[in-house]
Copies of this chain bind each other. A is one copy, B any other.
Amino acid sequence: MSQGKIDVLGIGNAIVDVLARTDDSFLAKHELQKGGMVLIDAEGADRLYSEMGPAIEASGGSAANTIAGIAALGGKTGFIGRVANDQLGEVFTHGIRSLGVEYNTQKGNDGTPTARSFVLVTPDAERTMNTFLGSSQGLSVNDIDEDQVKRAKITYLEGYLWDPEDAKKAFLKAMEIAKSAGNKVALTLSDSFCVGRYRDEFIGLVENKVDILFANEDEIKSLYEVEDFEDAVKKVKAQAELIVLTRGEKGAVILKGLERFEVAAEKADVQDTTGAGDLYAAGFLYGYSQGYDMEKCGRIAAICAAEVISHVGARPEANLKELVDSKLS
């Protein structure tokens, strides 16, 4: 086992995505809010699966997708998240280890299966997620490897971890270790509905614990309950060392202290937006861990996001390192 430095350690729900094309009438029939993520139980998962169309399975999980992207770019990475000792657990484990990610979280063995997210992709390329957390909600403080967190320049956490009670404690423990070691803590708000569930706690985290914040336009507006993006910018400015706000095809706004940078989006033939934010964070954090300036970090981020939305699935298909090198040269 490598004991060297890690650029970015991700902690998140370990999920296998079950991706299927669908239409708006299916979302309406199942009362699903387009673009969001809702949690479902085992019974709900069985019901939805039996009614949805043909699907493919692919490793997912928000922070895990980000870590996969950073590894594909050549960064040194680790991941903490819990799967079960089952076939989907093998799928997830292969997906992340095959990229060279340090991943050793003990598998759940209590019969609860590996988490899966039913990702429904509508013809407008938007994705709507229904997640059965399964064994990933069993992540606990015991799964946080103190040495691994200390070795990581950046510990990256997903807001979704706030849903399972034990995972939230693990999240806070990792944050404390990282802060004590003088390392950076990064957080993605994950989802505007998730923000709605935990608004006050997230505002507290951003103000007091987080060094690097990722949010998209809906999430940051939801966090501060404002209608206008610029109002949200005013509220969040300087609340963390670095704030990265993504706005889809309108590009991104990066706030570094009182400085503001705007980075354009990369053109893409959009097939499926699943993983767009995750891969944006991947490109950005990779660049940041390499010491690149904000514009370059934002540009790498935009290239990675454009790659992942140009096909179905939340993990890169192209050789990201070659792609970024060719676009930057």
Contacts and interface: CB of A to CB of B under 8 A. Distances in A.
Nearest to A116: B87
Given A313-B56, A317-B21, A113 B98 contact: no
Contacts of A53: 98-99
Given A49-B94, A87-B88, A87-B113, A58 B56 contact: yes
Contacts of A313: 56
A303 interface: no
Nearest to A51: B98
A91 interface: yes
Given A21-B317, A312-B317, A317-B21, A91 B54 contact: no
A67 to B, nearest CB: 12
Interface string A203-219: 00000000000000000
A312 B315 CA distance: 14
Interface in A273-329: 311-313, 315, 317
Contacts of A55: 91, 94-95, 98
Contact of A58 (B50, B57, B87, B90): B57
- How many copies the complex holds: the figure is 2
Contacts of A57: 56-58, 91
Contact of A68 (B54, B68, B86): B54
Interface residues of A, number: 27
A315 B95 contact: no
A59 interface: yes
Contact of A87 (B52, B87, B94, B317): B87
25 contacts: A21-B317, A49-B90, A49-B94, A50-B94, A52-B98, A53-B98, A54-B59, A54-B68, A54-B94, A54-B98, A54-B99, A54-B315, A55-B91, A55-B95, A55-B98, A56-B56, A56-B58, A57-B57, A57-B91, A86-B86, A86-B87, A87-B87, A87-B88, A311-B311, A311-B312
Given A54-B68, A312-B317, 10 more contacts: A21-B317, A53-B98, A54-B98, A55-B98, A56-B57, A57-B58, A57-B91, A86-B86, A86-B87, A311-B311
Interface of A: 21, 49-50, 52-59, 68, 86-88, 90-91, 94-95, 98-99, 113, 311-313, 315, 317
